[in-house]
Amino acid sequence: MRIDIITVLPELLKSPFEASILNRAIEANLVEVYFHNLRDYTTDNYKSVDDKQFGGGAGMVMTIEPIDKCITALKKERVYDEVIYMTPDGETLKQGLANKLSLKKNIIILCGHYKGVDQRVRDYFITREISIGDYVLSGGELGAAVLCDAIIRLIPGVLGNETSALTDSFQDNLLAPPIYTKPREYKGMKVPELLFSGNLPEIEKWREEQAYKRTKERRPDLLNE
């Protein structure tokens, strides 16, 4: 998989990809991630990528030309499955969408800034708009990092144990059950006895019950999806 991220703040985006699972995935060539500074695509002497809104109104708008230049240059090199725009009014990111995107070959992610982009960018270049939640961030970069993390960990081979992504919370619309490790007892706090029984079918049944109970208590909305 290849991900091209278009941003005015590449330095803000880079560090999540330089550590842990994302970095390992890149090092193992399971994913390629490239950052494109939008200012490299402007012809403006001041390298500006935004302007005042037509019709008046507070806040600057990202202009179409540098975005067009950047996306067109990328599309000349390869075919893209999706051109995603990170925006609070997009489709809310859920596990199902991350699963779907993890199967794509090439995707572009455009990070919004200021008030957002000229509507024509959305109308003519963008295939999908994604929000990471009902709150407004200062820009799309942190959202893009969240989206990339959710996608990249699902690529086969990225997680050591492939089943671990399948048993994450939200796969099957259930939250994950409680988990325990050593010590068996800590300051009087005990691990459920069943987990030492060696009875794998019973343990699995307990985990399923716990996952259901937790989901019912915390996120009953998931059970109706």
The answer to whether 210 touches 177, Cβ cutoff 8 Å, is yes
For ligand ADE, the closer CB: 16 or 88: 88
Q: Does 16 bind ligand ADE (CB under 6 A)?
A: no
Least Å from the CB of residue 91 to ligand ADE: 10
User: How far apart are the C-alpha atoms of 37 and 190, rounded to whole Å?
Assistant: 52
Least Å from the CB of residue 145 to ligand ADE: 10
Contacts of 95 (CB under 8 A, 6+ apart): 150, 168, 169, 170, 171
| Of 106, 93, 83, 70, the residue nearest 142 (C-alpha) | 93
Interface characters, 74-103, with ligand ADE (x: CB under 6 A): ------------xxx---------------
User: How far apart are the C-alpha atoms of 98 and 83, rounded to whole Å?
Assistant: 15
Q: In this structure, how many other beta carbons lie within 10 angstroms of the beta carbon of residue 184?
A: 11
Q: Which segment (43-51, 58-66, 136-144, 195-203) binds ligand ADE by CB under 6 A?
A: 136-144
Least Å from the CB of residue 53 to ligand ADE: 17
Give me the residues that bind ligand ADE (CB under 6 A), please: 86-88, 112, 131-133, 135-137, 140, 143
